[in-house]
Amino acid sequence: MFRKKRIALLGLMLESNSFAPVTGRDDFLSRLYVAGLEMAEELRKDESKIPAEMHSFCATMDRSVEWEAAPILIGLVEAGGPIDHDFFAQTLEDMKARLEAAMPLDGVYICNHGAMITTRDRDPDGKIFEMTRSVVGKDCPIVATLDLHGNVSDRMVAAVNLVVAYQTNPHVDMVARGREAAFAMTSMLSGLRPASAVIRLPVCPPTVTLLTDKGPYADLMRYGQARSGGEIMNVSILGGFAYADTAKNGLCIIVTARSDHALAEAVARDIAEFAWRDYRRYDPHLTPLDEAVAKAVAAGQDPSLPAVILADVADNPGGGANGNTTWLLEALIKARANGAALGIFNDPALAREAMELGEGARFRAVFNRVEPDKFSRRFEANATVMRIRDGDCVGRRGFYANRRLDLGTTVLLDVEGVKVVVISIRTQCADPVFFEMMGIGISKARSIVIKSRGHFRAGFDEFFGPDQVIEVDAPGLSSPVLTRFDFKFLPRPIFPIDRDVVWPRA
């Protein structure tokens, strides 16, 4: 009797910054945390909060094979601190129970980020992978997609048949990777059993060195992908996420062959040797804050100069930062920069006060009045409420394209001449819609401060070329200057924190 292939879908996507506040249940519920029928309903939406790669996996399976999805659980949240261990343990048990109830299964697709830690465990992604394998058995195909900032452990690779990592940064290839995962799944449903090899290097690349348009990582990615094809079904090169602070950190090369493990090992070794020859290029080059502000002031004074983006890379919510440091805001106000805008500033209390006062109200704005810390400093300035919105929007370009987003109560303030978009749900500023929905004409601005590390490049590239982007050296929880952090678990020595590094296999 004919039976459709039954594939389980699950994932828990969190990029953990070990130095950021704990991520809990409420954080996931504010973004995405659904299971079973509720997950199936979310998957059917055109403008969904479900990760794009999972949508793409399902759409490709629809076109490729007679199948049915078994939605288990999917959680997604902005990068933040370690996930509360008890909440993670509950989620893991829920996943396990739902997987057991869904049996028999013909395959499993796992959609994780890969850089999650809990308050007690440095490899919860590995726990999810191993739990899944323990439930479905050794013969059931498992495919996992990961962010290229994932930190991959050996047990993660051992527990699944294939790891498919993003290849672009900014991340705009999620649809392609979901499609690749689905094609691999259909091949495995027909009997293919791949063989993978993994090599990890003592290099912990700062986030700003991991762009894939140019630089050392771009060169490495091109070299690696040129070796994919034929017997080699996938090459995944993960730069990792330093702030997770784990023993599995390190530039990671995973090569998967259709069956030839020796070939996978040889290709992985070749790519790793290429990477090692280049490792000293993974040093960040940032612009001092005063120099960056001077360029913004000059752009505001001279319309013949190109407008600039000041990327506040150290306060990137996409890297676990709060999105509410004021160093750049204070400096722009003090310098009386013309045509300057800043977004998106995470301060629910300030947004709520502005909403209650109403559009047109003038008041003394107090930034970070609630629990200020060494990065989220209290700052006061005169402000006018320009516009108020509910924060519900759909991404227009790049990383957030066609994804439904909720910023919470969102207000536009004129803060002593600088336009500031203030939000209530911490979100990385990676899409121009965050300014446009508040009436800011980006093409008319002379300088824009973006609280993002790199994904803004795929959103704002219609307004700013690469030479108009200034990566600013300012304080924050996601500073690319890794020597400013007290790492406890990274394998040492590791570049660029340590300058004299040896790869034993070189």
Any domain includes 410: yes
Instruction: Provide the 8-state DSSP code for 202.
Output: S
Any domain includes 503: no
Domain encompassing residue 194: 5-281
pTM of the model: 0.96
Same domain, 265 and 297: no
Looking at 249, 281, 313, which one is the last position of a domain?
Answer: 281
Task: From 333, 336, 335, 329, select the one nearest 350 (Cα to Cα).
Answer: 329
> Which two tokens mark 342?
């800043």
pLDDT the model gives residue 372? 76
Same domain, 309 and 271: no
Q: CA 173 from chain center: how many Å? A: 13
Query: What are the E-state strand segments in 210-329?
Result: 232-238, 252-257, 287-288, 308-311
A 10 A CB-CB count for 298 gives 14
Task: Please provide residue 182's backbone torsions phi and psi, each rounded to the nearest 5 degrees.
Answer: -70, -45
Pairing of strands 340-346, 447-450: parallel
Query: Which residues, 6 or more positions from 370, have their beta carbon under 8 angstroms from its beta carbon?
Result: 348, 349
DSSP string, 447-476: EEEE--SSTHHHHHTTT--GGGEEEEE--S
Any domain includes 500: no
pLDDT the model gives residue 506? 65
Instruction: Provide the 8-state DSSP code for 492.
Output: S
Any domain includes 94: yes
Write the CA distances from 284 to 281, 344, 356, integer angstroms.
8, 24, 43
Residue keyed to tokens 């924060």: 391
Any domain includes 486: no
Yes or no: say if 220 and 255 are a contact pair by the CB < 8 Å rule: no
Any domain includes 496: no
Same domain, 171 and 252: yes
Find the Cα–Cα–Cα–Cα dihedral 166, 167, 172, 175, rounded to 10°.
-60
DSSP string, 303-324: TTSPPEEEE-GGG-GGGT--S-
Looking at 245, 263, 281, which one is the last position of a domain?
Answer: 281
Same domain, 234 and 320: no
Helices (H), 103-212: 124-136, 154-159, 174-189
> Which two tokens mark 321?
């930062």
Distance in angstroms (rounded) separating the CA atoms of residues 193 and 196:
10
SS3 of residue 233 by DSSP? strand
| 34: β partners | 74
Helix or strand holding residue 352 (H, E): helix 348-357
Same domain, 262 and 160: yes
Tens-digit pLDDT profile for residues 84-117: 999 999 999 999 999 999 999 999 999 999 999 9
Distance in angstroms (rounded) separating the CA atoms of residues 166 and 173:
6
Same domain, 430 and 322: yes
Any domain includes 429: yes
Same domain, 391 and 472: yes
> Which two tokens mark 272?
């790793």
CATH number, residue 63: 3.40.50.2300
Any domain includes 107: yes
Distance in angstroms (rounded) separating the CA atoms of residues 2 and 28:
39
Same domain, 447 and 469: yes
Residues of the chain with pLDDT under 50: none
Same domain, 237 and 298: no
Same domain, 325 and 220: no
Same domain, 231 and 303: no
Same domain, 347 and 246: no
Number of domains in the chain: 2
Looking at 262, 281, 300, which one is the last position of a domain?
Answer: 281
pLDDT the model gives residue 46? 84
Distance in angstroms (rounded) separating the CA atoms of residues 312 and 332:
13
Q: How long is the chain?
A: 506
